[in-house]
Amino acid sequence: MFNRTTMSDFLLLEFSEVRELQFLHFTVFLMIYLATVAGNLLIITSVALDHHLHTPMYFFLMNLAVLDLGQASVIVPKSMTNSLLNTRHISYSGCVAQVFLFLFFVTSDLCILTVMAYDRYVAICNPLHYAMVINQQACTEMLAGAWIAGFLYAGMHTTGTFAIHFCSNIVNQFFCEIPQLIKLTCSDLNLIEMTAVGIGLLLGVACFVYIPVTYVHIFTTVLRLPSAKGRQKALSTCLPHLIVCSTFIFAACFAYMKPVSNTPTQLELIFTVIYSLVPPMLNPVIYNIRNKEIKKAMSKVLRFSYFPLI
């Protein structure tokens, strides 16, 4: 019998026992991680250095990039290291830190995506009141609320999860994922964990309902715009955000609402990778494709990086 006082580490899931496939996993995850780091750092640098992008929408986007960078950095390097060294181990404290930080980044990410939907709603549906509603103080308060909500929820959920007793230390996932850890318990869920699960469901449902409803109002307003150029400009700022939200929501719903199996299938692993790694990697690409301002700022940063004296 294992419990939280005697357990010193957990064993994570191996993608394969074949050494060549382990190197393949390392290579694929390294490419994903490098693309995630490069894309999000480019957005952060572009927004920070270009004064034309010092607006609420791009301020939110820069914070989203910071969270995406943190989310990928919490789980990918450890998984790559395990494949490279042919091991499955993660320390107990490492697992606790991974759960806390991953929940913090994901929860804050979801909150900021919701804030960004509200920002687009005010900008398109109530443009005359935008400067008054989305002012500097409001932006700071909304972002602070998103980060604080992520911190509090991650702290409560992590405390509740690791306060329970575990009957095994074998985690059937490539990182310490909450559903897989709860499956290892040999005791009833405690009050803290049950409260955290309930709050998580309420928060998730609230955000998942608010974002689609907001975009129904946005697209209704956009279709009424008399100018085709105005419609195109409005859609160019909304469609990337909607695509990012949809990818995250559907993959996360599949990962957390499905029954937890003893042996995860290839499809379950694919969906876990999609909700945990693909959004942080694709967000910079999606925003870059549809948004001329961010694309222009990125090209300036890249041009300066390669030709600093020109």
What is the mean predicted confidence (pLDDT) over 126-155?
91
Judged against a pLDDT cut of 50, whether residue 1 lies above it is answered with no
Handedness of CA 274, 276, 279, 281 (dihedral sign): negative
pTM equals 0.86
What is the mean predicted confidence (pLDDT) over 195-223?
81
pLDDT band at 259 (very low <50, low <70, confident <90, very high): low
Encode pLDDT of 273-293 as tens digits: 877 888 888 888 877 666 677
First to last CA, the chain: 66
pLDDT band at 234 (very low <50, low <70, confident <90, very high): low
**Domains, in order of start, for the chain:** 9-304 (1.20.1070.10)
Q: Picking from 139-143, 196-200, 234-238, which range would have the lowest pLDDT averaged per residue?
A: 234-238
What is the mean predicted confidence (pLDDT) over 204-217?
82
Encode pLDDT of 86-129 as tens digits: 888 999 999 999 999 999 999 999 899 899 889 988 988 888 88
Phi, psi of 10 (to 5 degrees): -120, 160
